[in-house]
Structure 1
Amino acid sequence: MKTVRVGGVPEHFNYPWHYAINNGLFAKAGFDVQWSDVTGGSGEMCRMLEKNQTDVALVLTEGIVKHIHTGGTTRIIQQYVKSPLIWGVHSNLHKHFNQSDLSTARIARSRVGSGSHLMAYVHAEQHNYTLTEANFVTVGNISGALEAFEKNSADILLWEKFMTQPHVDNGEVSRIGMCISPWPCFMLVGSSSFIALSAEEIERFAAVILAASKQISNIENTTSEIAKRYRLDPLEVEKWYNGVEWQTTAYVSAKMLNNVVKTLDRVGLLNTIPLPPEELCYVGIKLY
């Protein structure tokens, strides 16, 4: 049995992995999957992949595209979540910002290259204001962001809407708006050593999570299990679940990847020659 180390954020999007692991789906396919929660987000996962600290990770689409353009050796194996991510735009309670102009705000990001970093630039483009790297404060994770808010060393945080809902409900932060990513939110990404495996092994591994994602949609208690695992309000989970769509077939959209590349280039985040979709993905991928 082949051991595969998998990293992902400790969020509800990754429930299919825990379902597959706990129900022996990977084991039946010949894989011993060792899961790690990565609280530092996409920036941290990309570094872990490069340092051979994990074999596979579930990385935000914009995060992996940016990382590969900086010389990263990781590659996309498969789309994982087809639906976009709904980012909440959250404000320090001590400050009063309008989301239409955050050009003077100190914006918390988990890491350089993380979604909380890159999507701030996308939000700026959507609302016609300008950001520079001087706007950002690196905080590590959501706990670091909340601490920065409390110490008044950061003003704004973009983070997944449903995971931050408890912090909004208990009055730690205020939500002043939302930002919907203009592409599917998560990709299944492999390290350079993982994508060097045979195409048969890679496809067999990816097929397990595609099957698990399809199976959970037919199980009645899926939302209650998600609410329990991630300590979320069951009603909020129901709302989120009705809008989320996991990938259940093996392909990656070339048009989508081109859109991500063009957007990141347009907002000034690539600083290199834009790569075509086939150079962002492992060689055996099905591009459409």
Structure 2
Amino acid sequence: MKSIRIGGVPEHFNLPWHLCIEENEFNKEEINVIWKDFPDGTGAMNQALRSGEIDAAVILTEGVTRDIINGNPAKIVQNYIGSPLVWGIHVAADSKYKNLEDLRNTKAAISREGSGSQLMAYVNAQNNGWNIEDLKFKIVTDVEGAVKSLKEDKAQYFMWEHFTTKPLVDNHTFRLIADCPTPWPCFVIAVREEVLKYNAERIQKMLEILNTKTSTFKNIPEIDKILAERYDQKIEDIRNWLKITSWSDSQLRENELDEVQEKLRQLKLIPKKVRNSEILHSL
């Protein structure tokens, strides 16, 4: 049985993968999917793709697009979450900062260079008319690092997925200042080129199994309760999240990728736009 190593964040978006693994749906087709959690997100997954530690990743669209343009030998093979990701902009609960304008010229906590938390800080700055060249960052590795950094005022705000971070708002560790949705579908599946060269059929079969699961995921009996229990969320938050979240089995559209590339270029995060065929791969 051939193994495929997949990386992803330990968040509710990826429960369909875990259900397929737990229910042996991949194994039935002689595919051994080995999942690895990356709590520190996109930057770490890009590094793991580059090193060959993983074969594929469920990864933020803008983060992997930027890294592919900058030399990551991988391709986007399909969309995964077709809806935007809602990034919450958080400060410490007792922070003096009350609104977005208060955060101008302060320091953002980010998981690492090239992470979604860094890229979206640029998007948020541009949305609010801030000078992106004035942005300052503090690398904190993960959410726990962000908690410590904001508490000690080593950074002043932290951007992370709204619902994943909501328990920290509810327990008064963080305070939510605002939300910043991505302007495009948020998660894609990227695969190393070497894996696509030699195992494209196996990757395609794996995705067929996954896409069958995601197409009926919201109809699983008591899926809201299952998600709430497994990811330590309030059931009303999960229900709100399910309303605004949709899974996708199609390839990222050319116009969507154009928008991602143009935004990255405007923010000076890539030197230039490239042909979409250098980023996308159709199975």
Same-fold call, TM cutoff 0.5? yes
Partner deviation per Cα, 1:133-177 (whole Å, 9 max, x = no partner): 750000001111001112211101011000111111111111111
SS of 2:188's partner is strand
Q: Is 1:150 aligned to residue 120 of structure 2? A: no
Aligned partners of 1:202 and 1:162: how far apart in 2?
Answer: 30
Q: Decide whether the 8 Å contact of 2:49 with 2:72 is kept in 1.
A: no
Q: Name the counterpart of 2:247.
A: 246
Conservation of the 8 A alpha-carbon contact between 1:66 and 1:269:
yes
Per the alignment, do residues 184 and 101 of structure 1 end up closer, same or farther by CA in structure 2, a change over 3 Å counting? farther
SS across alignment from 1:25? coil
Q: Which residue number corresponds to residue 43 of structure 2?
A: 43
Whether the aligned pair in 1 keeps the contact of 2:97 and 2:103 (CA below 8 Å) is no
Look up the equivalent residue of 2:187 and give its one-letter code. Answer: F
Give, in angstroms, the shift of residue 101 of structure 1: 5.8
> 5+ residue gaps in structure 2?
none
- The match for 1:88 is 88
Length, aligned pairs only: 282
Q: Which stretch of the first structure deviates more once superposed, 203-212 or 109-118? A: 203-212
1:266 aligns with 2:270: no
- The alignment yields a C-alpha RMSD, in angstroms, of 1.4
Aligned to 1:194: 195
Matching residue's letter, 2:274: L
Runs of 4+ in 1 over 4 A off after TM superposition: none
Say which is worse superposed, 250-259 or 77-86, in terms of deviation: 250-259
**8 Å CA contact 2:78, 2:250 repeated in 1:** yes
1:188 Cα shift? 0.5
- Secondary structure of the corresponding residue to residue 240 of structure 1: helix
Moved more, 36-45 or 93-102: 93-102
2:197 partner letter: A
Deviation at 1:198, TM superposition (A): 4.2
The aligned residue for residue 174 of structure 2 is 173
Aligned counterparts of 2:134 and 2:193: Cα–Cα separation in 1: 29
Identity among equivalent pairs (%)? 33
Deviation of residue 97 (structure 1)? 4.8
1:218, distance to aligned residue in structure 2 (A): 2.0
Partner of 1:123: 124
Pick the structure with more helix per residue.
2
Partner residue in 2 for 1:162: 163
1:79 counterpart SS class: strand
Q: TM-score, normalised by structure 2?
A: 0.95
Report 1:1-288 matches (<5 A): 1-92=1-92, 93-100=94-101, 102-132=103-133, 135-247=136-248, 249-270=249-270, 272-282=271-281, 284-285=282-283
Give a deviation string over 1:171-210, Cα, whole Å, max 9, x none: 1111111101000000101123222234322221211211
**Pairwise CA distance, 1:228:** 1.2
Counterpart amino acid of 2:273? P
- Separation of aligned partners in 1, 2:59 and 2:33: 17
8 A Cα contact 1:111 1:140, kept in partner: yes
